[in-house]
Amino acid sequence: MGRKYVDLLLKFPKWFSFLLVAVTCISAWLLSLLPVETSVESLIMENDPDLVFYETYKKEFGEDEFIIVAFSSDNIFTPEMLKEIHGLTLKLEAVKEVKEIISITNVESILGTEYDFIVQPLCQDMPETMADAQKIKRLAFNLKSVKNNIVSDDGKSSLFLVRTLPHEGDETYDARLLKKIEQIFSDNKGQESLLQRDKIHVAGWLVTDVNMSSHINRDNQVFMPLLYIILGSFLFFALKSVISVAIGMVNITLCLVWTMAALFLSGGAISPMTAILTPLMLALAVSDSVHVLPHFFKQKRTRENTLNLLKQTINDLWRPCFLTSLTTAIGFLSLLVSDIPPIRHFGLAAALGMMAEFALTMTLIPLSIYFFRHTEFIVKDFKIRENILSKVSTKLSLFIIQKKHWILLVSVLLVAGSVIGVSKVEVETNLIEYFKKSSTVYRDFNFIDTRLNGVNTIEISIKHKNGESLITPETLRIIDRVETYLASLPIVGTTTSVNTFIKQMNKSFHAEDPQFYTIPESGEMIAQYMLIYGGDEIYNFLNDSYSWTRISARISEHSSKKLEAYISGIQNFIENKIDDQDLEIRMTGKTFLVNKLVKNIVDSQVNSLLLAFIIIFGILFIVFKSFKLGLLSLIPNLLPILFNLGLMGLMGIPLNTATAIISAVAIGIAVDDTIHFLSVYQSARNQDMNMGEAAMNAVRLKGEPIMLTSFILCCGFGVMVFSSFVPTIQFGFLSAVIMISAMVCDLIILPALMLLYTKKKLVQRPSE
């Protein structure tokens, strides 16, 4: 097959060159169209019933996401501070992307009068004296909707709550809004200014999304130059040829462009998950080049035999290179069983990228050699000197012969330690801990979580199945039971519902008597309150027909593991303690969707790994036509995964959206070196070498390229430690460890095991 292909290629070199250029140009255009997607919704399947309900919920009540701009001062309640807050509130309200601003000065207050109550902004008139400011403080602390919600209970921290407009399809909305908000505070300068940009803390889902997007761009700017320097250096180290390095670098560049085009065609986008594609594909794209280029350049060439040597090179390496690309692609394709769209997009794009890498290697390298075949770079018979890796390979074979029992003993101990570590692995997705603790995002979220009861919310939807009014004493008491349960949870800082306002109306109607902060007994009284009420805030929690309402609980917890327990408890309470057949009560919101995502991660990890395992090793059994070789191939590929999971458990690295895909990806990558090793081993066995001799022969012949590709992949993954995202750092570190451990398994543990089952004693000499 390889010979026929290269004959066709060299018969029509210009047509193949044109095809390469055309596909690359189209791919570059598609790459420019790739969107950036960092929202939680993008992690959930489009037809998921909870996501579908959440979208309907948002249409009824608006976005449950909001931006919190928090600040602190020795005393919020001074005339100067309140006036400055009011001025900033007006500026924020003028931003066209803003739906509504709530601050300590304009928050809705329900105040009792002689005969009823009135609804007005808390600061109806700006205070001129400290006495006026303290009066506002007393009013604020008398309102449940304000205390511990808009202002902290010590009166030293407060916030601007920015509600957003619906903006589906507007890709620049988030960044525009955040930039305008930050600009308002940056412009708030002057000696008497108390709220400048460096004194505020900005947080919310939108803030997280925008920062993820900017961090992804930053990571790519760091990864790309580093990877090109590293890969170019390794290629030159291996080949000592400038033209070879140039061919290899062009090859990996085209592979990356084609892969990102495949990501676009798969319906994917740049996200924290798919951003890993760039360093991953750059590192993987060089793997076949490292085998093909040395194989060609190590042979004695003349002007007459260059093309024949090229054809022989492609013919010799076609099968193992195709197999390595195919098995790696299968590892990626196994991710298609995941319910998480970015993981599926990642898997499909990476799989197509691997097959594109094979096609490019078998096309670009022969074409380059063909067009430059008369140049000094190609014809010159320079000898690639034996490098340090060649010497290591020779000495390694002797070491294995001498220390095989110790090698296997250490391997058993590592397996035992890994099993212990695996038992400690935890599933955890904490979107805030995606960012480093030194980052502004992390610090701002932490400030609001500790001082103002958090940014995220748990949303409870309550809907009458027959469309009847929920504003009755009986139904409001049911809502109150749910809200009371939520308020009792340690992670909940404050809750808001329609009852927050109705209870306050009842209290204010009765001369601000705290005993009347309850749900009225009379339905007529509630109806009267709703008639008198002239505010707007209650309708953020109640639809126009009064048939659908919600409870919003602010929480300060981001750990998916802890949230899962609380969410399960809430669902159990609703199912077992609330018995009303007319009500549909269900959880929703972004926090709830993230918790569901975590469960999908575990399922996708197990399913992807099993699928990759079955298909890859099924292929190896068929290709090698040997049950024994198929079994042997399991050892150097399963052990690295076991070591990886064990290391995760021992180091406390959780199974998250990034680390969840490592095993399925790694098994596809690690098997490449096993294929090259066992191909040489099988060839030696066919020449009547015994198992041990064939294994040592494979170590000496394939040790150098296996070590080189492993080090290249290790460094390729290693650059991810310079990422802005903690999971990406973890992915890079663990993947690098897997590459090294896979190399050790292929070149040391597997040969040692083969020697153990070899009866004939081997002669310990390097030249064997």
Residue 194 is predicted with a pLDDT of 66
* CATH architecture for segment(s) 2-41+210-432+596-756: Up-down Bundle (1.20)
Lowest mean pLDDT among 580-584, 720-724, 759-763: 759-763
Mean pLDDT is highest, among 381-385, 397-401, 574-578, for 574-578
Lowest mean pLDDT among 249-253, 374-378, 544-548, 667-671: 374-378
> Which is nearest to 764 in space by CA: 402, 298, 275?
402
Contacts of 517 (CB under 8 A, 6+ apart): 144, 503, 504, 506, 507
Which letter does DSSP use for residue 659 in this model? G
> Which is nearest to 40 in space by CA: 459, 331, 648, 488?
459
- What would the two tokens of residue 147 be? 């205390």
Find out whether 7 and 324 touch, Cβ atoms under 8 Å.
no
Residue 768 is predicted with a pLDDT of 39
List the beta bridge partners of residue 108: 121
Find out whether 290 and 709 touch, Cβ atoms under 8 Å.
yes
Q: What is the pLDDT of residues 708-730, one digit of tens each?
A: 888 888 888 888 888 888 888 88
Query: Does residue 376 have a pLDDT over 50?
Result: yes
Q: What residue segments make up the domains of the chain, in order of their start? A: 2-41+210-432+596-756, 66-203, 446-595
Residue 304 is predicted with a pLDDT of 62
Where are the alpha helices (H) located in 334-381, listed in sequence order?
341-371, 376-379
Residue 695 is predicted with a pLDDT of 84
| CB half-sphere exposure, 75, CA atoms < 13 A | 9
Q: Residue 559: how many CB atoms within 10 A of its CB?
A: 16
Query: Does residue 192 have a pLDDT over 70?
Result: no
Residue 379 is predicted with a pLDDT of 56
SS3 category, 35: coil
Residue 713 is predicted with a pLDDT of 84
Which letter does DSSP use for residue 557 in this model? -
Strands (E), 478-581: 492-496, 548-555
Residue 119 is predicted with a pLDDT of 92
Residue count of the chain, please give it.
768
- What would the two tokens of residue 235 be? 């290629």
Q: How far is CA 88 from the centre of its chain?
A: 36
Query: Does residue 381 have a pLDDT over 60?
Result: no
Q: Residue 645: how many CB atoms within 10 A of its CB?
A: 24
> Which is nearest to 631 in space by CA: 669, 678, 672?
678
Find out whether 676 and 738 touch, Cβ atoms under 8 Å.
no
pLDDT band of 377, cuts 50, 70, 90: low
Kindly state the helix (H) or strand (E) to which residue 278 belongs, with its residue range.
helix 277-285
Residue 132 is predicted with a pLDDT of 93
The Cα 239–Cα 230 span in angstroms is 14
Who wins on pLDDT, 224 or 352? 352
* CA-based max dimension of the chain: 109
Q: Residue 463: how many CB atoms within 10 A of its CB?
A: 19
pLDDT band of 409, cuts 50, 70, 90: very high
Lowest mean pLDDT among 23-27, 69-73, 335-339: 335-339
pLDDT band of 378, cuts 50, 70, 90: low
**Angle, CA of 139, 493 and 497, to the nearest 5°:** 70
Query: Does residue 739 have a pLDDT over 70?
Result: yes
The string of DSSP codes covering 208-245 is HHHHHHHHHHHHHHHHHHHHHHHHHHHHHHHH--HHHH
What global pTM score does this model have? 0.80
Who wins on pLDDT, 757 or 115? 115
Kindly state the helix (H) or strand (E) to which residue 532 belongs, with its residue range.
helix 523-532
What φ, ψ does residue 678 adopt, rounded to 5°?
-70, -25
Query: Does residue 276 have a pLDDT over 70?
Result: yes
- Own/partner pairs for 562-571, CB < 8 Å, 24+ apart? 562/491, 563/491, 563/591, 563/594, 563/595, 564/595, 564/598, 564/599, 566/458, 566/489, 566/491, 567/458, 567/592, 567/595, 569/489, 570/458, 570/460, 570/485, 570/486, 570/489
The Cα 15–Cα 626 span in angstroms is 41
Residue 24 is predicted with a pLDDT of 94
The Cα 491–Cα 553 span in angstroms is 9
- What would the two tokens of residue 320 be? 């193992």
Who wins on pLDDT, 619 or 532? 532
The Cα 521–Cα 525 span in angstroms is 8
- The proportion of the chain whose per-residue pLDDT surpasses 70, expressed as a percent, equals 92
List the beta bridge partners of residue 67: 162
Residue 35 is predicted with a pLDDT of 86
Mean pLDDT is highest, among 167-181, 314-328, 421-435, 488-502, for 488-502
Query: Does residue 626 have a pLDDT over 80?
Result: no
Query: Does residue 316 have a pLDDT over 90?
Result: no
> Which is nearest to 529 in space by CA: 504, 496, 495?
504
Q: Are strands 66-72 and 98-102 parallel, antiparallel or unpaired?
A: unpaired
SS3 category, 161: strand
Residue 176 is predicted with a pLDDT of 92
- What would the two tokens of residue 765 be? 């000499």
Mean pLDDT taken over the chain: 85
Q: How far is CA 663 from the centre of its chain?
A: 15
The Cα 355–Cα 328 span in angstroms is 9
pLDDT band of 504, cuts 50, 70, 90: very high
Lowest mean pLDDT among 448-457, 541-550, 603-612: 603-612
The Cα 355–Cα 330 span in angstroms is 10
Query: Does residue 766 have a pLDDT over 80?
Result: no
- The residue whose two tokens read 């300068």 is 189
| Alpha-carbon Rg for the chain in angstroms | 33
The Cα 647–Cα 650 span in angstroms is 5
CB burial string 167-187: b at 16+ within 10 A, e below: beeeeebbeebbebbeebbee
Q: What is the pLDDT of residues 197-240, one digit of tens each?
A: 667 899 988 898 888 888 888 888 888 888 888 888 887 877 77
- What would the two tokens of residue 196 be? 């400048």
Lowest mean pLDDT among 185-194, 560-569, 588-597, 734-743: 185-194
List the beta bridge partners of residue 552: 459, 496
Q: Per-residue pLDDT averaged across 4-14, rounded? A: 88
Helices (H) and strands (E) in the chain, counts: 25, 10
Find out whether 369 and 19 touch, Cβ atoms under 8 Å.
no
CATH of domain 446-595: 3.30.70.1430
